[in-house]
A and B are shown apart, each in its own frame.
Chain A
């Protein structure tokens, strides 16, 4: 990370700590905001949060790695999650998954070369009556079939 980037990151974290407070219970909202902004929480950010909130950096790493929506490694600009749990599975998740993998040229867990999309599975996202369901960033798409999936993904910038 460049010094300028580091300074900007420190400033951003200071603002978040000011917004949410520096008690431990503010940790998740701060991490969630950073995740949303940067799509991951870099090592440097973890150390800065630790310093500003007086928590050991290892604790922060422990929290990030516990939650599946937080991560320590960079991801794509958009995170596409296909629900893999039973009802979506019965409704045809497998063929949608294959189509998406083919179209994007990546496997689940990978990011496209241009950094546009990270492809992941999600566990039940509560759309069982309208499966298969797809979660792109915060938005939900229901009754997705192969054709629809390709169309939706082509609109993701």
Chain B
């Protein structure tokens, strides 16, 4: 594996282990919540739920046991920012978890690490041990009476759907990773039916910087509705793939220049469950209010067959659908069949249009985010690249 030189305004700026915890322990819980609310930090996993709201709900819940869960089940195709954070910036993630524990009144934090990242487990465990030695974890942390907090690591076992927070909790409780009905939400009925905050690795990593430099400082980066910066995992057809920290609101064109992408035809924003943006819309900005993403940016140049790309995505969803609800289980299979029909040039437009309607039904009728977002690429790729896909040549464009 390779490491790159990194710099960025927030996450990739200077930080020492424990700084965030020290600062947090000097503040009251209300002050911490105020600072985070002021920063307008939103969940970095993709859904964009305001972190302050989540934490306020959990901290207000009346329960002797509460939990902090760090969602490190990074499975969205094209996303690898959590890998970088956990390997190169564990101090941010762990400080963020301890601060979360202090704020909501939890004693245990759990990192749900995806099975594919097992090679990091050892270094993370060593890190936890080092923190215990410095009294950054354990009993009466840094002399703060009655603040006890520990972190454990639990492994996933190769299921994409476990990145969905209720499926993740099911998995932690020893069940099949099938999403729960919501409500009740994890903030009141989470792990072991206790109030739980489930946060993305990057969300937690942002917290120490917000406390140290203030919510107002954080808001200076990004746009009005998307404050701060974001880690973008850039892959595909470009000279410099990797993780980049950029302020929200950066346009796709700016990003493409930065990574030196040439002859770009399309950019998949938000991974397989995101949308495919054609060249004509490259002036759109990456932000919650425009082209939203959990960080995945996949670049396709002119030589790529978009139907082939779509087929790869649909195969992914057919494999990863948990099979619990009908729209997602059957729907994804039908969409993949549709792609194969177009590929073999054995289709009718009326049927493909029916499939697009089916996709829209899946977006509202599926139980969890997987089925609700899996038709996104089907719809956006077929609509934005209809000319080349329906050329009667199985989407091949002469290459």
Residues of A within 8 A of B (CB): 23-29, 31-32, 62-63, 66-70, 84-87, 89-90, 122-131, 135, 138-140, 142
Contact = CB atoms under 8 A, between A and B. Distances in A.
A138 B119 CA distance: 6
Contacts of A69: 115, 157-158
B100 interface: no
Contacts of B114: 126
B43 interface: no
Contacts of A66: 159, 176-178, 322
A140 B119 contact: yes
14 contacts: A25-B173, A28-B171, A63-B174, A85-B272, A86-B313, A90-B236, A90-B237, A123-B316, A124-B76, A126-B82, A126-B116, A128-B236, A129-B241, A142-B2
Contacts of A139: 119
Given A29-B154, A69-B115, A129-B235, 15 more contacts: A28-B172, A31-B157, A66-B176, A66-B178, A67-B159, A68-B159, A85-B272, A86-B268, A89-B312, A124-B316, A126-B83, A127-B80, A127-B83, A130-B241, A139-B119
A85 B316 contact: yes
B319 A123 contact: yes
A24 B319 CA distance: 27
B338 to A, nearest CB: 19
B79 interface: yes
B298 A87 contact: yes
A87 B159 contact: no
A129 B176 CA distance: 31
B77 A68 contact: no
Nearest to A68: B158
A122 B234 CA distance: 20
A140 B1 CA distance: 8
Given A32-B157, A87-B235, A126 B177 contact: no
Interface string B115-142: 1111100000000000000000000000
Nearest to B118: A138
Contacts of B173: 24-25
Contact of B157 (A28, A87, A123, A130): A28
B158 A67 contact: yes
A62 B172 CA distance: 15
A130 B241 CA distance: 8
A128 B312 contact: no
Contacts of A28: 154-155, 157, 171-172, 174
Nearest to A141: B1
B78 interface: yes
With most chain A CB atoms within 10 A of its CB, the pick from B75, B76, B158, B309 is: B158
Nearest to B240: A129
A56 B253 CA distance: 56
Contacts of A128: 77-80, 233, 235-236, 241, 298
Contacts of A67: 115, 156-159, 177
B176 A142 contact: no
Contacts of A90: 236-237, 300, 304
Given A125-B116, A140-B1, A32 B155 contact: yes
B160 interface: yes
B77 A124 contact: yes
A23 B174 CA distance: 9
Nearest to A26: B174
6 A-B pairs with the lowest CB-CB distances in the bound complex, closest first: A27-B174, A67-B157, A128-B235, A69-B158, A129-B241, A68-B158
Contacts of A70: 157
B164 interface: no
A118 to B, nearest CB: 14
B1 A126 contact: no
Nearest to B308: A89
Interface string B308-343: 010011011001101000000000000000000000
Contacts of B309: 86
A125 B316 CA distance: 12
B74 interface: yes
Contacts of A68: 157-159
A123 B83 contact: no
B1 A142 contact: yes
Nearest to A27: B174
Contact of B234 (A26, A129, A131): A129
Interface in B71-118: 74-80, 82-83, 114-118
